[in-house]
Amino acid sequence: MIVGPDAVAAVAVGGLPRRPGVLVVTARAPDATVWQSGVEAGAEAVLELPVGGSQITERLADSLDDRGRTGVTVAVVGGCGGAGASTLVAGLGVAASRAGVEALVVDGDPLGGGLDLALGSESVGGDRWPALVGISGRVSAQSLRMALPMVSPSSRMAALSLLSWDRGDPQAVPPDAIREVVAAGERGHDLVIVDLPRWVDPAGEQVLIKADVTLLVVPAEVRAVAAAGRVAARVRAMAAALEVVVRGPGPAGLTGAHVAEALQLPLAVEMRSDRRVASALDLGYGPWRLRRGPLAQACDVVLARQGLVREEVA
Ligand SMILES: Nc1ncnc2c1ncn2[C@@H]1O[C@H](COP(=O)(O)OP(=O)(O)OP(=O)(O)O)[C@@H](O)[C@H]1O
Ligand SMILES: [Mg+2]
């Protein structure tokens, strides 16, 4: 509630129940009476215009963003090149959308193939990273949602927002920009999924610090496990909860349990390679048509572990 100096006394004596978010806004320096009434009305702040203007805008943006809950952030890193990290990110976005979970997928790998391609949504209109790299301050969750491509193919599915690269020259993501995007994403969605490069850059570090869980995707092969050990050594200090997603079957019989034990990390889920993935991605469909396959099942398990879908769905 925003009240002027003329009305604040009435709010104070009117016996209205105390509530959060009361702001007193004045056009000139507040006098002692305004301060006193502000205190009696339980005001959070007395703001003088124009200097207090930005704080008012911020509070208004906050109230628009307020969905009564904040989303979960899942970071995904490949343990070796071509491990299947970006595919898992796309699969998680699709699984969330199908399960009615509103999600934002963020492409944090400037040298990756582009998550818009992985989701079959290259031609969907909306902002890409180049339009957002200049962000330094707080972003409103509403404006982010409005600006980004909405890529779920049917209105029966929950909205899936995507922040991807375009086909222009690669550029680094500024750490401030990705931090604000993820924060706004959490305010505006149930889930934020970020695809990170294996050599985590400063932007990736911001995501790891913020993420509720980081998934390290590892094929069940000896050299992949050795490489993943090196990636884990780098990200471990920044990731609050680091877990492995193992892609099998291993050519020599390595299982998810073996891989998790070798890396001394909890096993989030083990999934079989899905023969249909490569062609679905290449044909520009993304994982949307891969219902009930191993990728879809593994993604449901990940969502269930985060409390986003019920266990029996997964
Ligand atoms: N779950 C899967 N089942 C079968 N094949 C897969 C799966 N995930 C990925 N692949 C295959 O591996 C290729 C590389 O996958 P992806 O781009 O997801 O890996 P990445 O870890 O993101 O690689 P990069 O190191 O380039 O970031 C895909 O094009 C696809 O052919
Ligand atoms: Mg990738």
Closest residue by Cα to residue 10 from 34, 29, 44: 34
229-242: burial string, b at 16+ Cβ within 10 Å, e else: bebbebbeebbeeb
Name the token pair of 247: 């892609």
- Establish whether residue 87 lines the binding site of ligand 1, counting it when its CB lies within 6 angstroms of any ligand atom: yes
> What is the predicted pLDDT for the residue at 5?
86
Vertex 278: Cα angle to 266 and 150 (nearest 5)? 80
Find the ligand nearest to 90 CA.
1
**What's the start-to-end Cα distance of the chain, in Å?**
43
Q: Which CATH superfamily is domain 72-305 in?
A: P-loop containing nucleotide triphosphate hydrolases (3.40.50.300)
Average pLDDT over residues 158-182: 96
Closest residue by Cα to residue 247 from 286, 279, 219, 288: 219
Q: Domain map of the chain by residue range?
A: 2-65, 72-305
- Measure 218 CA to ligand 2 centroid, in angstroms: 12
User: Quick check: 193 and 186 in contact, CB under 8 A?
Assistant: no
3-state SS, residue 157 = coil
pLDDT tens, position by position, 194-249: 999 999 999 999 999 999 999 999 999 999 999 999 999 999 999 989 999 999 99
Pairing of strands 191-196, 45-48: unpaired
Amino acid code (one letter) for 217: V
Closest residue by Cα to residue 97 from 300, 314, 295: 300
Average pLDDT over residues 69-83: 96
> What is the predicted pLDDT for the residue at 312?
61
pLDDT tens, position by position, 300-314: 999 999 999 986 655
User: What Rg do the C-alpha atoms of the chain give, in angstroms?
Assistant: 23
Average pLDDT over residues 21-40: 86
Q: Is the pLDDT of residue 49 over 70?
A: yes
Going by CA atoms, what residue is nearest to atom 25 of ligand 1? Answer: 81
